[in-house]
Amino acid sequence: MPILSKKEIECRIAKGELVKDPRRDAKKNPLVETASYDLSVGTILWKDRDSGEVKQLDFDSTKDDFSQPFMTLQPGQMVLVISKEDLIMPLDVCGTVYSRNRLQKENILALNAGHVDPGYEGPIIIRLINLSSLPWNLKLGQPVFTTVFHSVDPRGEKKDQRSRVDTLEAARKTIAEAYANPFHDSYKEQIDRQLGQYYLEKEADLREKFSKEFFRRDQVILFASIILGTVFAIVVAVPKIPWRDLWEYVKANRLNVVLIVLGIVVLEACLMLFVFKGWRRVRRYRRKRKRQSNRSS
């Protein structure tokens, strides 16, 4: 299958074949390479990583090429590009679409570029992924795909037409079902699952640590022993206390009694403060555990 030369491509374009509305130079001649034509960016579709919304950027025919907007392709991000030009393949010509060498040099991977059958009419869709560690600007109207045309035997072929509206609808459906960033989103679910497992394990460790710190068996036994000893002392000592003599002592030593009462009050206040601090630590632990549970879910 011989490849069509520049002269043949220009003649075919002049007859309304191969490329519809091609890019032209200052003299209104089609910008045809030696044996190919470079398709340019007409529409860019991508999925927003945060909202999941499909966003679209279209070529503005009211502006020149220098004033066209662009989007920044982040490392690992994927976009769908629809060519600005439509291919109009006669029955005796097929085509092959490649990504331009410039894309490969800048670590931009082009997928879906390939064969175009004879009789096809419509735009071309290609998927681009940024394999670079740096952001890459993709501008509307810039040439990105090289198309090579081959002559074929036209017997038995039939035309395959695809409108730009149908192409755009198919592209939006494709990008809506795709990852916004394949190299990030493809393992994000695994990371979330592993983090959830990690949080559960940490929660179990914290539970065990909490139980050991606040409810140790020896501490419980010591506390119970103190309570029982106090009760026993009260039961044994109260009947033997000379209450009349005690009352006379209180009247005779009021200052000492007041100091003793104040000492008891201070001790009780310290005990209450200790209990309050322990209660606050328990609340902080429960809030922390709740936040970890929300993250894992």
The reply to whether 283 falls in a domain is: yes
Shared domain for 272 and 217, answered yes or no, is yes
The reply to whether 282 falls in a domain is: yes
Shared domain for 199 and 287, answered yes or no, is yes
Identity of the amino acid at 57: L
Q: Which ranges of the chain does DSSP label H, i.e. alpha helix? A: 6-14, 101-105, 164-176, 182-214, 217-237, 243-252, 254-296
Shared domain for 117 and 226, answered yes or no, is no
Shared domain for 103 and 155, answered yes or no, is yes
Q: Is 161 helix (H, G, I), strand (E, B) or coil?
A: strand
**10: containing domain:** 6-180
Sheet with 86-88, edge to edge strand ranges: 18-20, 86-88, 120-122, 160-161
Number of domains observed in the structure of the chain: 2
Shared domain for 24 and 82, answered yes or no, is yes
Shared domain for 90 and 224, answered yes or no, is no
CATH number for the domain spanning 52: value is 2.70.40.10
Shared domain for 204 and 108, answered yes or no, is no
Tokens of 181: 């960033």
Measured distance CA(88)–CA(85) in Å, rounded: 9
Shared domain for 242 and 138, answered yes or no, is no
The reply to whether 1 falls in a domain is: no
Which of 180, 207, 226 terminates a domain? The answer is 180
Q: Which ranges of 125-181 does DSSP label H, i.e. alpha helix? A: 164-176
Shared domain for 95 and 220, answered yes or no, is no
Shared domain for 36 and 120, answered yes or no, is yes
Tokens of 139: 């501008």
Task: Note down pLDDT in tens along the chain; length 297 residues.
Answer: 689 999 999 999 999 999 999 998 888 899 999 999 999 999 999 988 778 888 999 998 888 888 899 999 988 888 999 999 999 999 889 999 988 888 888 888 888 668 898 989 999 998 899 888 889 999 999 998 899 999 987 765 666 677 778 777 877 777 776 666 655 554 555 666 666 676 777 777 776 666 655 555 555 666 677 777 777 766 666 666 666 766 676 677 777 767 777 888 888 888 888 877 777 787 787 777 777 766 655
Tokens of 171: 């592209």
Shared domain for 153 and 232, answered yes or no, is no
Shared domain for 169 and 246, answered yes or no, is no
